[in-house]
Structure 1
Amino acid sequence: MTTNKILLINSERLGIRNSVTIQKAEAFLRILNTKTAAKTISDAAKIVLCLDLAATSLGVGFDKNTALKLAGLRKGVYQNNLNNLEKMLDLDKPLTISELCVQLSCTEIKETAETILQSYKEHDTKIKDIRHPQYVAAAVFTSCKLKRVKVDKSQLRAISRLKLSQWNELLEEFGKFAASLGLSRIKEAKKNASTEQEELMEVVETSLKTKSMNKEDKMEDYDVWRERILHKASAEVLQREMKND
């Protein structure tokens, strides 16, 4: 089976039917086949990686889970090979929030992530390599956490190109920074609003119960009052009769 045939079969399995994306992947593959360093990667994995790079460069959605199965690679190894191929193809351009959100299918957190990243850049002017993908990955993960959007943390860590300890440290830093911007209060505000609503409902229910009880009390007080007035009237009549006698 020819390489192009395998590429078409894999693109179909990955749900990529756009001819432009397929042609771009074919072009990447031709270039890589001329590079000695790329020969350390199996042909099957190389084809899938080229489809990944083509889809990402064109902003087309890509099924990472299926890609990992087709390439026969673990997540970390897959991402490392992807990074190496990017360099070989001179595609090692800065990763953007928009591109990563499309790749992870979490475009709803894009604005929040961009706010965090831009504020972080302005806050820490000593960052030497802001082009490094760790900052974009951390901003996206932090935003997903704030918005309660599920995302593959291990995949983001691989994209960040950091060791696990470094990644966790960066996430802690971004979490605190987001809190300083007031963004961590999003969930808290919703929680407080819910609590206030519950308290309001309790007050209303208590008020209604009190009114109902007061109404019953008033009816009972009237009967007592009526009985007391009758007794008082009878006593006054009796006193008058006694005086007259």
Structure 2
Amino acid sequence: MWKQSNILANTASRLGLPDGPILKKAEELLRSLHSKGSLKSISDVAQTILCLDLAATQTTDAFDKETAIKLSGLKKSAYQTSLHTIEKMLGLEKALTVSDLCVQLSCTEAKAVAEEILDKYINSHKMLNDLSHPQYVAAAVYSACKSLNLKISKQQFIETSRLKPSQWKELSLEFEKFASTLESGFKRNKKIDTKNTPEVVTVTEEKVVLKRKDPEEVEEYDVWRQRILNEAYAALKSKEATEKS
């Protein structure tokens, strides 16, 4: 126990973590982890760092992941895999949601589109039994961001998905097909630029006047087209009647 506490204190110091709730939580997680059996493939230092990572998430303390990976002696992919293994062993695993990931990756404007893409995917794959796996949420948000032309880091999505690059490529391509079936309104940024607002034609007896319509009042194209045709036809009939009289 002394050795474990010593490793924890030294590791926390090297990571610049404060002595307080995060250390107490990490120590609690380490005790729980050891009670469930040892992980022979992961060193004591690596286990300590991984528990500190999980503790930081719970206490919302800042955590230097890059330094932690270097100190753990693990490759980045192995670090993430080990972190999720311990997380699962300790019952800390929580299903990732579209909303969570959008906030985490600063792409909240993609939330509605991502949720619709994910719904379409789930509805077409009724036999899925691992929906809690983050790969689906990651692929949905990634596809939504691409369709909305948002700047994103592909690597962050791959890491979140917990898939190998080849597996990610296959899944993301499948999700992009679902994204392409959404109506065009979801494929562009929803910010309306008044410079690009459709112009509405108002027909009078003397001349045709172009008037820019307020963005919030833009009509559906079919409705607008029919209204314009009706107004033009009425104006022409009125003019013909005037000329005849």
Same structural fold, with TM-score higher than 0.5 when normalized by the shorter chain = yes
Structure 2 counterpart of 1:163 = 164
Q: Which amino acid aligns with 2:9?
A: K
Question: Hey, what does 1:176 align to over in structure 2?
Answer: 177
Matches within 5 A, 1:50-199: 50-57=51-58, 62-101=63-102, 104-106=104-106, 108-109=108-109, 111-112=111-112, 113-145=114-146, 146-151=148-153, 153-182=154-183, 185-186=187-188
How many residues align? The count is 190
Gaps of at least 5 residues in structure 2 are 198-245
Which structure 1 residue ranges, 5 or more long, are not aligned?
Answer: 198-245
1:6 pairs with 2:7: no
Deviation at 1:34, TM superposition (A): 3.4
Q: Where does residue 26 of structure 1 map in the other structure?
A: 27
Deviation at 1:142, TM superposition (A): 2.4
Cα distance in 2 for partners of 1:159, 1:193 equals 34
SS of 1:27's equivalent in the other structure is: helix
CA contact (8 A) 2:134 2:162 kept: yes
Cα displacement string for residues 37-94 of structure 1 (whole angstroms, at most 9, x for unaligned residues): 3242122322221122233345666443333223232221111111211222122332
Structure-2 separation of matches of 1:173 and 1:194: 35
Q: CA deviation at 1:147?
A: 4.8
Cα deviation for residue 124 of structure 1 reads: 3.5
- Specify the alignment match of 2:214 in structure 1: none
Aligned amino acid, residue 152 of structure 2: K
Question: Which amino acid in structure 2 is aligned with residue 30 of structure 1?
Answer: R
Deviation at 1:174, TM superposition (A): 1.4
The question of whether the paired residues in 2 share the 8 Å contact of 1:109 and 1:147 is answered with: no
C-alpha displacement of 1:177: 1.2
Contact persistence 2:99–2:111 (CA under 8 A)? no
**SS at the partner of 2:38?**
helix
TM-score (norm 2): 0.61
Match of residue 227 from structure 1:
none
Q: Is the 8 A contact 1:10 1:48 kept in 2?
A: no
When structure 1 is superposed on structure 2, of 170-179 and 55-64 the one drifting more is 55-64
Return the alpha-carbon distance in structure 1 between the equivalents of residues 92 and 188 of structure 2: 37
Q: Equivalents in 1 of 2:14, 2:100: separation in Å? A: 22
The TM-score with structure 1 as length reference comes to: 0.61
Which letter maps to 2:106?
Answer: C
Change (3 A) 1:137 1:19: farther
**Is this contact kept in 2: 1:11–1:17, CA < 8 A?**
no
- CA gap of 1:92–1:69, structure 2 versus 1, over 3 A, is same
Say which is worse superposed, 111-120 or 174-183, in terms of deviation. Answer: 111-120
On the 8 A contact 2:120/2:178 being kept in 1, the answer is: no
Structure ranking higher in helix proportion: 1
SS of structure 2 residue aligned to 1:40: coil
Aligned equivalents of 1:95, 1:126: Cα separation in 2: 20
Could you tell me how far 1:131 is from its partner in structure 2?
1.2
